[in-house]
Chain A
Amino acid sequence: MLADAVKEKRVVQALLGEPACAAAILGGKWALDELTLDIEPGAIVTVCSFLKQRDQYNRLISVTAVDWFPQEPRFEIVYQLMSTHRTEWLRLKCRVGGAEPAIDSVYNVWKSADWYEREIFDMFGVTFRNHPNLKRILMPDDWRGHPLRKDYPVHGYKYSYQNE
């Protein structure tokens, strides 16, 4: 299932050694000197807790999303991790569907997920379960729509070139 280049990585070995995490790995790739693992969305907190507590991944660099509209599952949530002890980097990805997109928050694993998850909620409309303060962060509170979705026009809804 996993390519050899991925399987031989130390962190992948560690994850495969833990049954709950091994079952959550859906795929992975080693490209351009970067390791990416596809994770089952339901198990993201399990995998992240393991990585932080047992594998020294003490930094969550960022969380972001990519909208693959009109593909399904539509949203890809991307986690960039780093271990300052090992000087290692890792990227985790989860795919969530477009109808009521939701995923568990990793706020309880790394506090730095706080604003990144709020930003995704704001920009993509993905809900993070168990997030302590999930509300818009960059756009005004009464904004309608989620600007970084691919079906959201670049010039917004209020202004249209066609009306000119």
Chain B
Amino acid sequence: MSDTERAATLEAAASSSAGGTGRRNMVLNMGPQHPSTHGVLRVLLELDGEIIEKAEADIGFLHTGIEKECEVKTWQQVVPLTDRVDYLANLSNNLAYCLAVEKLLQMEIPPKAQWMRVMLTEITRLNSHLVWLGTHALDIGAMSMFMYCFREREEILKIFEMFSGQRMMTSYFRIGGLALEPPRGWEKVVDRFCRYMPEKIDEYEGLLTANPIWTIRTQGVGHMTLEDLLEVGVTGPMIRAAGLALDLRKDKPYSSYEKFDFAVPVRTASDVYARYQVRIAEMRESCKIVRQALDGMPEGPVQAEAPGVVLPQREKMKTQMEALIYHFKIVTEGFSVPAGEVYQAVEAPRGELGYYVVSDGTAKPYRVHMRTPSFGNLMALKPLLEGRLIADSIASLGSMDFVLGDTDR
């Protein structure tokens, strides 16, 4: 069915639901270029006055066939593709994929690399939540928030650039550890960031938390019960704002998260305001984790001792023939991974991000499936919008915090 036909069917359904009185509901096409959809989401809304009678999400505008492409790349070449799945939480994607493949290879990662991974994924969480807070507040009308959040995000992007040479598509985590040794002076930069970030969060809260306009637009809006949220497969801050402490960092710790001391913020109101509170509290917890990682960073290598998988150091390549041979083999034909399957999930900023990786024992993945949080969370769009006011739909959509690249892959 083409789009015009679909719109026509929806309109026909709307007129018939009006009971043959000749009264017809209005069908509104929201997106794919609507600013509050934060990307290219299209929602077909059937309106009865101010009330949304029916809402249907239309996704796929950003589908790039990443899962298909993974099947023709070598294991290591898939890492840059994972960046492009969720471009606001690229390091979480890198991490989930690398952990999955490392699990198949049964590879031990040195402690420093693990701690670095924790530190950088938490900075990624701050980055993602800052973009969310800025755009969500902008949608609701607090325009200055956007400037403040992006000011701090700029610092984060500078940190990423310092580490990896790239601001967004970092590909900094590789199978076997990190891509590069951390740059000289990184401690100072991260330390400075850790010092001022909590103050900035206080500033955001000062602007929003008790602001009557903000509370009126968010409190009691977009409420959903915990049972409904679980039923439609929602994860992340949305489910924690409904009272369930579902966090994979605690439930199934990975990359030595069990060594860090942090709380999982939970609220019970399950409205837009509660989701805001959860994310703000998570930002504070992330700052704490980054601080702990900085203070307790172990010494040692950042790559595993695995000659056939990890590229040898430049120096060794020039002096040792084995290293040169390994380098040539890894670059030309990659490495094979034992046959098997694994589902590795991490707690990404938006919720559970799982990589289901199947290997048939060759140098390329047989199948990579990404269970992305935005795809799961967007299924809540229908219950979240239907029967509610159209004016609240912007706040409700914003509180879901989806990224369309993450949804469509």
Taking beta carbons and an 8 Å cutoff, which residues of A are in contact with B? 31-32, 34, 36, 58-62, 64, 66-67, 78, 80, 84, 87, 89, 91, 110-112, 114-115, 123, 135-142, 147-148, 152, 154
Contact = CB atoms under 8 A, between A and B. Distances in A.
Contacts of B104: 32
Contacts of B352: 61
A112 B232 contact: yes
B69 interface: yes
Contact of B72 (A110, A115, A141, A154): A154
A137 B106 CA distance: 36
Interface string B208-244: 0000000000000000000000111100000000001
Contact of A111 (B232, B244, B340, B342): B232
Contact of B342 (A34, A60, A147): A34
B379 A62 contact: no
24 contacts: A31-B341, A32-B106, A32-B340, A32-B342, A58-B230, A61-B233, A64-B356, A66-B366, A84-B246, A87-B251, A89-B252, A110-B231, A111-B232, A111-B233, A112-B232, A112-B376, A114-B379, A135-B1, A140-B60, A141-B1, A148-B68, A154-B68, A154-B71, A154-B72
Interface of B: 1-3, 6, 59-60, 63, 65, 67-69, 71-72, 103-104, 106, 230-233, 244, 246, 251-252, 340-343, 345, 352, 354, 356, 358, 366-367, 369, 371, 375-376, 378-379, 408-409
B60 A60 contact: no
Given A59-B230, A66-B358, A147-B68, A138 B379 contact: no
A66 B106 CA distance: 23
A115 B382 CA distance: 12
A66 B367 contact: yes
Nearest to B369: A64
A67 B360 CA distance: 12
Given A84-B230, A111-B379, A139-B60, A148 B356 contact: no
Given A32-B342, A111-B231, A138-B60, A61 B371 contact: yes
Given A64-B369, A115-B379, A147-B65, A91 B343 contact: yes
Contacts of A142: 2
A112 B233 contact: yes
A37 to B, nearest CB: 13
Contacts of A31: 340-341
A149 to B, nearest CB: 10
Nearest to B231: A111
A141 B2 contact: yes
A31 B343 CA distance: 11
A163 B71 CA distance: 23
Contact of A139 (B3, B63, B354, B367): B63
A139 B67 CA distance: 13
Contacts of B252: 87, 89
Secondary structure of the B contact surface, majority rule: mixed
Contacts of B409: 138
Nearest to B228: A111
Given A32-B342, A59-B233, A64-B356, 7 more contacts: A61-B233, A66-B358, A66-B366, A80-B371, A91-B343, A112-B233, A137-B59
Contacts of A87: 251-252
Given A138-B408, A139-B63, A148-B68, A112 B1 contact: no
A80 B356 contact: yes
A20 to B, nearest CB: 24
Nearest to A64: B369
A157 to B, nearest CB: 13
B60 A137 contact: yes
B354 A62 contact: yes
A148 B67 contact: yes
A78 B356 contact: yes
A61 B72 CA distance: 26
A66 B359 CA distance: 11
Contacts of A136: 60
Nearest to A148: B68
B354 A80 contact: yes
Given A62-B369, A111-B232, A112-B233, A80 B63 contact: no
B408 to A, nearest CB: 6
Nearest to A59: B230
A31 B65 CA distance: 29
B55 to A, nearest CB: 13
Contacts of A152: 68
Contacts of A141: 1-3, 6
B352 to A, nearest CB: 7
